[in-house]
Chains A and B, each alone.
Chain A
Amino acid sequence: MCTYTTVFEQVDGSAKGPEGQWFHVSAATVYYDHPVHAMAEHTLNIDLTDPSRGPEGRVAVELTRESATRLVRAIEEALASAPEGA
């Protein structure tokens, strides 16, 4: 399968990237397609990037569908545990 489908979102925060350096990230690219490294035919892939830093300015994760679904639930649970504005 080759989905081509890509979802873009703006984000605001930091990520620890190449050579252990923290950097600001402003964009997320999310897609379900072939992984580079994970031993699965398809994964949910997220690139957190600072486009101004060039192609190397990203933190990438490749998660199986099941684990990505659990991660979504975990994020929602963590956010729900704290009130808005906290």
Chain B
Amino acid sequence: MGDSLTAETIQLAGAGGDDLEAYLARPGGDDRRGGVVVIHHMPGYDRATKEMVRRFAELGYDALCPNLFFREAPGAAPDDASATARARGGVPDERLVGDVAACVDHLRGLPSSNGRVGVIGHCSGGRQAVLAACRLDLDAAVDCYGAFVTGDPPAGSPTAPSNLVDLLPDLGAPLLGLFGKEDRTPSPEHVRELDERLTELGKPHQFHSYDDAGHAFFAVDRPSYRVAAANDGWERITAFFAKHLATQAA
């Protein structure tokens, strides 16, 4: 496998048939490969997220990231788009599921697709990755420190989403969870609750919680970045997707 890749912005029909912008990165060559949907964090469809999309292409996957704030702020800077979406109450879960479904369909429709598609998200995208894996036909899911998969949002917080505990019996893909022990949302207790619940349900999952790391330890442009946790996390993501996405679907 070479290191050539292409990356571009494309337009899709998202949830409800709405116009949806997305960032697609693809390895060079004609070999069959899996796909990865990258769900951006709450700060938006930004440069750091697009770097991750290209990294998945470099790892050998067709990777696609939807701009979840495109409806509220087409063409806006990522920070302005994020602020606008936040002011309007955030991204509804149903819309998120529809947008990710459109990305999954696009990836499976590519001539290079081996039929397998995974999802990964960070921060709010971590919760949304689990949500997508409970609602859609996916082959692997990675939750990087998503808040409120378990646990309850603070009282009197109308913009916070509900947790996903009731949906977990529908989780249809193996889940890799990567967390920081110094994080409070999700806290180690939230992670333990999720781990225990998935074990009770017989859902395949692998969780890793890092010392000396809190929230957003993968974010290379933020003071929360922790190189040891991030490097180990990328190795685990690489191995996890290689196991679940790299081979031809049955």
Residue with the highest number of chain B CB atoms closer than 10 Å, among A27, A36, A58: A36
Count CB-based A-B contacts (< 8 Å): 86
Closest Cβ of chain B to A44, distance in Å, is 14
What total of chain B residues lie within 8 Å of the partner, measured CB to CB? 37
Instruction: Return the chain A residue nearest B154 by Cβ.
Output: A5
- Give which listed residue, A2, A4, A55, contacts B81 with CB less than 8 A: A55
Interface secondary structure of B, over-half rule? loop
In the complex, the answer to whether A34 meets B148 with C-beta atoms within 8 Å is no
Query: Taking the complex as formed, is A39 at the interface, i.e. its CB lies under 8 A from any CB of chain B?
Result: yes
Mask: chain A, 1-17; 1 = CB below 8 Å from B; 0 = not: 11111101000000000
What total of chain A residues lie within 8 Å of the partner, measured CB to CB? 24
Query: Taking the complex as formed, is A20 at the interface, i.e. its CB lies under 8 A from any CB of chain B?
Result: no
- Give which listed residue, A2, A4, A40, A58, contacts B83 with CB less than 8 A: A58
In the complex, the answer to whether B81 meets A41 with C-beta atoms within 8 Å is no
Binding site for B on A (CB under 8 A): 1-6, 8, 27, 29, 31, 33-34, 36, 39-41, 47, 49, 51, 54-56, 58, 60
Chosen A-B contacts, 7 in total, with CB atoms closer than 8 Å, are A1-B184, A2-B42, A2-B145, A34-B41, A34-B215, A41-B216, A55-B83
Binding site for A on B (CB under 8 A): 41-43, 72-73, 76-77, 79-84, 86-87, 90, 123-124, 145-148, 153-154, 157, 159-161, 183-185, 214-216, 222-224
